[in-house]
């Protein structure tokens, strides 16, 4: 059924299978104020459920899910919410460490051997 819809869209000279903007009033539950309140609640306790966070912020669970997944880039791993992506500082730190390791490996032929043996 979905393939038929895509075929119909492309047959009408559309270049994308993405959804068109929906008419109506935009959601007010995913505004910046609610995003910050959800972030604060989660920082206080990563083991809360989406329903508990939604109740705390006084929004629906349906509005809370996009805040987690789209706005905060978080997902549930095990019983805690975790960031999906590294922050810019974490990325820079990884690059710096990689450069240091590469410089050590290039300057010391036994570098990798020393790491494996713990010398």
Q: Cα–chain-centroid distance for residue 69?
A: 6
First-to-last alpha carbon distance for the chain, in angstroms, is 62
- 109 and 73, same domain (yes or no): no
- 69 and 104, same domain (yes or no): no
Q: Residues 21-28: what's their mean pLDDT?
A: 66
Q: Could you give the CA distance from residue 30 to residue 70 in angstroms, rounded to a whole number? A: 10
The answer to whether residue 14 is domain-embedded is: no
Range of the domain at 33: 28-84
Residue that has been written with the tokens 């929004």 in this structure: 59
pTM of the model: 0.48
pLDDT in tens, 56-78: 999 988 888 888 888 888 876 65
- Here the CATH number for the domain that contains residue 66 is 1.10.10.10
User: Please, what is the average pLDDT of the chain?
Assistant: 78
- 40 and 73, same domain (yes or no): yes
- 39 and 80, same domain (yes or no): yes
User: CB–CB of 84/77 below 8 Å?
Assistant: no
């Amino acid at each position: 059924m979905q393939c038929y819809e895509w075929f119909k869209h492309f047959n009408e000279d559309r270049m994308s299978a993405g959804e068109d903007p929906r008419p109506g009033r935009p959601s007010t539950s995913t505004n910046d104020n609610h995003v910050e309140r959800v972030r604060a609640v989660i920082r206080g306790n990563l083991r809360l459920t989406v329903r508990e966070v939604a109740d705390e912020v006084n929004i629906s669970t349906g509005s809370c899910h996009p805040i987690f997944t789209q706005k905060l880039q978080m997902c549930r791993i095990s019983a805690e919410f975790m960031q999906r992506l590294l922050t810019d500082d974490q990325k820079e730190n990884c690059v710096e460490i990689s450069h240091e390791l590469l410089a050590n490996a290039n300057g010391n032929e036994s570098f990798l051997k020393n790491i494996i043996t713990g010398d």
